[in-house]
Chain A
Amino acid sequence: MATENSGVVAVEEVTPTEAFGELQSPDVALIDTREPYEYAEVRIEGSKLIPPAMVADEISKAVPDKSTRIILQCRSGARSATAAEQLMRLGYVDVASMAGGILEWEAAGLPTASDANLTPEQRDRYSRHTLLPEVGVDGQVKLLEAKVLLLGAGGLGAPTALYLAAAGIGKIGIVDDDVVDASNLQRQVIHKLSTVGTPKSSSAREAIENLNPDVEVVEYNFRLDSSNILDVIRDYDIIVDGADNFPTRYLLNDASVRLQKPVVSASILSFDGQISTFMPYEGPCYRCLYPTPPPPELAPSCSENGVLGVMAGMMGLMQANEVLKLVLGIGEPLIGRLLLYEALGTRFTELKVRRDPECPICGPNAPEVPESEMGQFPDYEAFCGGHVGS
């Protein structure tokens, strides 16, 4: 019990083992006075979280009866002792602080709970994520459970893949049928000299596995076409379009609308980039924005016109940013918005993109396609050729 002596409040302390014994009674309240991210990582089952700054405001809600036995606990015992003093000044008469906090509790082998299945290594690796209230441990678990497919391991896909892997996206599929060329290394930072001449998908896999063993990499070392695209994208939550040709972009759009998969789409040329997020039926699709591909003379490729490597990297990372927001369910994705980036002027321009009521793919009058014809698409090769992500 606490005693008062010359205005100094003496706080009763209990050991973790004593606290554990007391907590077998339902009449004892356990208050955790740490921050939310600490609580999410590891906590004592049945404890109630009240961060230090909110103790005075929230205790009356959590424990209305001031005669209730309260044990306060934090990480090491300092914050809980301070909070115990506060409660006693507020008139709570039966308050104790758990000495040594949850560190001592764990050291004593007492049971803990966590709303995450993060390993100690993962808690450390992702601590800068879990510190963010918008992410937290729950968000990191979502990232670790997310499945993201990258079309192309080229100028856009290379930086996207590296940062998604670093962020702990649990499964990353990589579609690319090309091999690494020395001219790729100016911007495709996932590849390296030693992998020149090897498939881009395996080069990317090697880099990802060296960066983060939490990530499962699936290679699709072939070209997407109407016969295989549905099977490839079906298992993924989000598709990232970094393809370098129109046929693949339209093919992906039609297939992703059919399977209702969100697509984070970017394209780059010279010093300019574009990015938008296509959420089927919630926002416009690629065909709503671009009903018809341009003729080849108006659609030069990076290999013809050149591309600033850093600009490619910036657009790829903006795609990665969109993916993280979609997985976490935070922020404002670029749905119905097309963001243009001009690297030379360092200018961003945002344009509105609306659903096209006449859209042949996602419009209300789009033709019904019977189940037996799923996966059948027009021959996009007529537009112009190209390799995914080269």
Chain B
Amino acid sequence: MPTVKVPPVLRQHTDGATEVSVSGSKVGEVLQALVDRHPATREQLFSEDGELNRFVNVYLNDEDVRVLGGLDTAVGDSDTVMILPAMAGG
């Protein structure tokens, strides 16, 4: 199963988990599976119309899914889907 890496700001909604293994063959399915398991992550990730929020960066391994196929990008079992937060701390 693909692994989702959860950023610090979302861990309060994943019971503190830093990584979650969920099923799914596309990026969108993987993120939906994360939301199904941890519903509080939904409004952080998706807008009301189901699109990925503009301020959320999602990487498949080391590549931004925006330059791949977005939420339709195919995901393999050994892949890592990373939710990347912008941080401003200095």
Contact = CB atoms under 8 A, between A and B. Distances in A.
Contact of A389 (B55, B62, B90): B90
A309 to B, nearest CB: 12
B50 interface: no
A44 to B, nearest CB: 50
B90 A154 contact: yes
A268 B55 contact: no
Given A244-B88, A267-B87, A300 B64 contact: no
A203 B85 CA distance: 32
B8 to A, nearest CB: 5
A138 interface: no
Interface string B49-83: 00000111101001110110000000000000010
B84 A298 contact: no
Contacts of A1: none
Interface stretch (A190-198, A224-232, A321-329, A351-359): A351-359
A298 B85 contact: yes
A156 B90 contact: yes
A354 B89 contact: no
Contacts of B88: 243-246, 249, 267, 293, 299, 301, 386
A301 to B, nearest CB: 6
A164 interface: no
Contact of A244 (B44, B64, B90): B90
A246 B89 contact: no
Interface in A25-73: none
Contacts of A305: 8, 89
A interface, how many residues as a size bin?
35 or more
Interface residues of B, number: 22
A274 B88 CA distance: 10
Given A271-B8, A352-B63, A298 B90 contact: no
Interface stretch (A206-214, A284-292, A360-368): A284-292
A13 interface: no
Given A272-B8, A292-B55, A293-B55, A354 B90 contact: no
B86 to A, nearest CB: 4
A239 interface: no
A294 interface: yes
Contacts of A388: 90
Contact of A246 (B7, B59, B86): B86
A173 interface: no
B86 A268 contact: no
Given A157-B90, A289-B57, A269 B64 contact: no
A16 interface: no
Contact of A301 (B7, B56, B85, B89): B89
B90 A243 contact: yes
Contacts of B56: 294
Contacts of B17: none
Contact of B9 (A244, A300, A307, A354): A300
B87 A274 contact: yes
B86 A290 contact: yes
Given A292-B55, A305-B89, 9 more contacts: A267-B86, A269-B87, A269-B89, A293-B86, A295-B55, A299-B88, A349-B82, A356-B66, A388-B90
20 contacts: A152-B90, A243-B88, A243-B90, A245-B88, A246-B86, A267-B87, A269-B87, A272-B87, A290-B55, A293-B86, A299-B9, A301-B89, A302-B90, A307-B89, A349-B62, A351-B62, A351-B82, A352-B64, A354-B64, A388-B90
